[in-house]
Amino acid sequence: MDWKDLGMSVAKVAPVLGAALGGPVGAIAGAAGTLISSFLGVEPEPQAVAAALNDPKVLVSLKKLEVEQQEQVMAWQRVQLEVELRNVQDARAREVALAKAGHGGAWVTGIVSLVVICGFFWMLREVVSAPQVSEPALLLLGSLGTAFGAVVNYYLGSSLGSYRKDKAGSGGNSGT
């Protein structure tokens, strides 16, 4: 078990704290894990924290911890969102640079995306219309579904990431 696995359990009662544990930045997950373990009085190891989470009273206490440490936890979440956004922006910047240079590789991303999207919907139709579905067909559909999600995130992720980052920066207020 690691902090990322533990993040899903914590997220049920303390969503922002759980997101910090399960996020893409390992240092932040470790810091969140250390905060939780210190609060619970256990060793800063995922297994020790997981064992402490078996007590329902502890779960309620985690929600209190999240509220008390809201500023720090929101700062962690903001860093994670910035890392995700930079990752997507770097991929797009590479594609733009290839296109400006007249490199044919700029089209590869679009073609691969088109193949993934068509393949996903074709496989989905096959699985839904089949009277009996085989396990390999479901595995392929699952893999294509994951790839489909990555394609959608590539083309639409930056806008969503920017929105999340802006919301985190404003404390979640919409300005009303």
> Is residue 88 domain-shared with residue 144, that is, in the same domain?
yes
The two structure tokens encoding residue 24: 């893409």
Q: How many domains does the chain have?
A: 2
**Separation CA 172–CA 25 (nearest Å):** 21
> Is residue 114 domain-shared with residue 144, that is, in the same domain?
yes
The two structure tokens encoding residue 101: 């240079």
The dihedrals phi and psi of 116, each to the nearest 5 degrees, come to -65, -45
> Is residue 148 domain-shared with residue 100, that is, in the same domain?
yes
In a domain, 75, yes or no: no
Out of 11, 38, 68, pick the residue that ends a domain. 68
Locate all alpha helices (DSSP H) within the chain, ordered by sequence. Answer: 3-11, 15-22, 26-40, 46-52, 56-68, 70-100, 106-129, 135-169
In a domain, 77, yes or no: no
> Is residue 102 domain-shared with residue 163, that is, in the same domain?
yes
pLDDT of residue 52: 77
Cβ within 8 Å of residue 48, ≥6 positions away: 37, 42
Q: Which domain holds residue 59?
A: 3-68
> Is residue 93 domain-shared with residue 165, that is, in the same domain?
yes
Question: Model confidence over 150-171: pLDDT tens digits?
Answer: 888 877 765 555 555 555 555 5
Per-residue pLDDT for 27 more than 70?
no
**Separation CA 61–CA 6 (nearest Å):** 16
Tell me which DSSP letter residue 12 carries. T
Among all chains, which residue has been given the structure tokens 């067909």? 137
> Is residue 107 domain-shared with residue 62, that is, in the same domain?
no
> Is residue 98 domain-shared with residue 64, that is, in the same domain?
no
> Is residue 90 domain-shared with residue 151, that is, in the same domain?
yes
Question: Model confidence over 91-123: pLDDT tens digits?
Answer: 777 777 777 877 776 677 788 889 999 999 999
